[in-house]
Amino acid sequence: MPVYSISHVENVRVCVVMVGLPARGKSLISQKIVRYLSWLSIKSKCFNVGNYRRQIATMPIEVDAKFFDPNNEEGLKYRQQAIDLAIDDMMRWFSDEQGVVGILDATNSTRARRETILKLCRENYIEPMFLESFCDDQDLVLQNILDVKTTSPDYVSKPQDYAMKDFLQRIEYYNQIYEPMDAVTDSELTFIKLVNVNSQIILNRIESYLESRIVYYVMNLHIKPRCIWLSRHGESEFNVTGQIGGDSNLSTRGWRYAKKLPELVLKSLGPDAQHTNLTVWTSTLKRTQQTASFLPYKKKLQWKALDELDAGECDGMTYEEIEQKFPEDFKARDDDKYEYRYRGGESYRDIVIRLEPIIMELERQENILIITHQAVLRCLYAYFMNVPQHESPWMSIPLHTLIKLEPRAYSTLVSRIKADIPAVSTYKEKGTSQLGESVEGMSSKSRDLISASAES
């Protein structure tokens, strides 16, 4: 009997069919849903019809706005080919790769198109859920075009002015045939309609658990610019002695980091430092609160869900002691660190489950600085940077380093600010019970990992 998290109750497959004019944030929403579900171990994938269109190598015509004129028969032919390719791929993925949530990212702007997809889903026992992003706030649309579309692969080496004008014309062509989802006409369908981001949301026949999770996630998204800072606590007394877990105090060097942290945060804020409203989250353990104690921000919250991975019977032991006392466990953990659950304690998978409400709250909030622990920080980082599960427990997140994340439309910018205060390494390579000699001594492999994921 496998262990179920809240995410695996039903045996349901869902196809999220995006609906909406271009530049309504459909791809952004699609990619966020995929990242969120993947982090929760729910196999999901996005099928972007624009990408399939760009892959039709034999296409002899130029893709400017006129390509999208509903009266352009040649354009129509290639666009049909693109959506067919996307749907074929998605159906193959559902059947051959046991996909659970597939997202069809296209405008799907007519009822006829949506009917076809609906029929296909039902024939394949896949639940179709339509997700429309409707936006009549012209400022939002223009901002989106500027932020994203003028740098689209469709406009490589074109001036921005041209791209903007051409894209607006493309939207206009789509608008001629657009049939928005409607609470009455489409009352038999399962759908979410977001109006102007999420100032109004219509939910229709949302039934399965998976659908309701996706709805709740999408409901909580916002597009205001903000940053998230992540830091481990300063070096602790247990870090110095190589013991895991516990609730020890900071070491002398850990206290130095705590004192320096306000300066690091200010530096990372740049010129807006004085005006930034920032909330500090810590775990319930002393070492994170001590690390936060010199920060000048009034709002500080403690979360039990941010506590370090519970090592159960191994709490307070060194890796060498664990290797000696429980050699089989030690090996099992190295073999599958994500799934391995300490005797009477937790696995990385357990942490992800308890962090889920934290992620939801992070999506809702603006500027947050989180001071937490190695394993928890790895899981949070994996969410933002889309790091695969089997890699995340092996990422190196050194002590005395502040990480700043700036979520952008299709990526998250990462910067790391080092405090230049020495600390032991708590990084254990696979197959050894020895820790690295210092932060600088960490393997290049683990270092590569973190930079690679930063670009994903």
Judged by beta carbon, residue 16 or residue 385, the one nearer its own copies is 16
Judged by beta carbon, residue 14 or residue 358, the one nearer its own copies is 358
> 192-231: which residues touch its own copies (CB under 8 A)?
198-206, 209, 212, 215-216, 219-220
429 is catalytic: no
Residues 168-187, mask of contacts with its own copies (x by CB under 8 A): ---------------x---x
Distances from the Cα of 13 to the Cαs of 9, 186, 380, 423, in angstroms? Answer: 12, 21, 26, 47
| Nearest Cα to Cα of residue 407 among 360, 454, 352, 343 | 454
DSSP 371: E
Helix (H, G, I), strand (E, B), or coil: what is residue 125?
coil
Q: How many residues bind its own copies (CB under 8 A)?
A: 47
Nearest 5°: the CA angle 220, 226, 230 is 95
> 262-321: which residues touch its own copies (CB under 8 A)?
284, 289, 300-305, 310, 315
The least CB distance from residue 226 to its own copies, in Å, is 15
Q: Measure the CA–CA gap between 132 and 29, rounded to whole angstroms.
A: 10
Burial state string for 138-153 with b = 16 or more CB within 10 A and e = fewer than 16: eebbeebbebbbbebe
| Nearest Cα to Cα of residue 307 among 377, 403, 373 | 373
The least CB distance from residue 446 to its own copies, in Å, is 28
> Which entry of 105, 186, 307, 323 is annotated as an active-site residue?
105
The least CB distance from residue 346 to its own copies, in Å, is 8
Q: Which two tokens stand for residue 299?
A: 């709002």
> 332-351: which residues touch its own copies (CB under 8 A)?
344, 350
Q: Measure the CA–CA gap between 454 and 7, rounded to whole angstroms.
A: 27
Q: Measure the CA–CA gap between 86 and 55, rounded to whole angstroms.
A: 11
Q: Which two tokens stand for residue 281?
A: 């989250």
Residue whose pair of structure tokens reads 């962090």 in the numeric block = 355
Q: Measure the CA–CA gap between 355 and 309, rounded to whole angstroms.
A: 11
Among 4, 73, 112, 440, binds its own copies (CB under 8 A): 4
233 is catalytic: yes
Q: 338, 347 in Cβ contact below 8 A?
A: yes
Among 159, 225, 357, 388, binds its own copies (CB under 8 A): 357
Q: Which two tokens stand for residue 180?
A: 């928005």
69 is catalytic: no
> Which entry of 233, 235, 315, 356 is annotated as an active-site residue?
233
Judged by beta carbon, residue 50 or residue 245, the one nearer its own copies is 245
The least CB distance from residue 284 to its own copies, in Å, is 6
Question: CB-side exposure of 321: number of CA atoms within 13 Å?
Answer: 10
- Indicate the angle between helix axes 26-39 and 209-219, nearest 10 degrees: 120
Judged by beta carbon, residue 56 or residue 201, the one nearer its own copies is 201
Helix (H, G, I), strand (E, B), or coil: what is residue 63?
coil
Q: Measure the CA–CA gap between 273 and 293, rounded to whole angstroms.
A: 19
Judged by beta carbon, residue 43 or residue 300, the one nearer its own copies is 300
Judged by beta carbon, residue 212 or residue 415, the one nearer its own copies is 212
Q: Which two tokens stand for residue 153?
A: 């692969």
For every residue of 378-422, DSSP letters joined together read HHHHHHHHT--TTTGGG----SSEEEEEEE-SS-EEEEEEE----
The least CB distance from residue 246 to its own copies, in Å, is 8
Residues 6+ apart with CB under 8 A from 146: 164
The least CB distance from residue 365 to its own copies, in Å, is 8
Judged by beta carbon, residue 61 or residue 301, the one nearer its own copies is 301
The least CB distance from residue 184 to its own copies, in Å, is 10
Judged by beta carbon, residue 201 or residue 273, the one nearer its own copies is 201
- Between strands 401-407 and 228-232, the pairing is antiparallel
The least CB distance from residue 286 to its own copies, in Å, is 11
> Which entry of 132, 308, 329, 356 is annotated as an active-site residue?
308
Among 37, 87, 317, 353, binds its own copies (CB under 8 A): 353
Q: Please name every residue paired with 368 in a beta bridge, in sequence order, or none if there are none.
A: 228, 279
Residues 14-53, mask of contacts with its own copies (x by CB under 8 A): ----------------------------------------
Which stretch, 47-55, 88-96, 361-369, 431-439, contacts its own copies (CB under 8 A)? 361-369
The least CB distance from residue 308 to its own copies, in Å, is 11
Among 77, 92, 331, 364, binds its own copies (CB under 8 A): 364
Which spans of this chain sit near its own copies (rule: CB under 8 A)?
1-6, 8-9, 183, 187, 198-206, 209, 212, 215-216, 219-220, 246-247, 284, 289, 300-305, 310, 315, 344, 350, 353-354, 356-358, 361, 364-365
Q: Which residues are catalytic?
A: 105, 233, 308
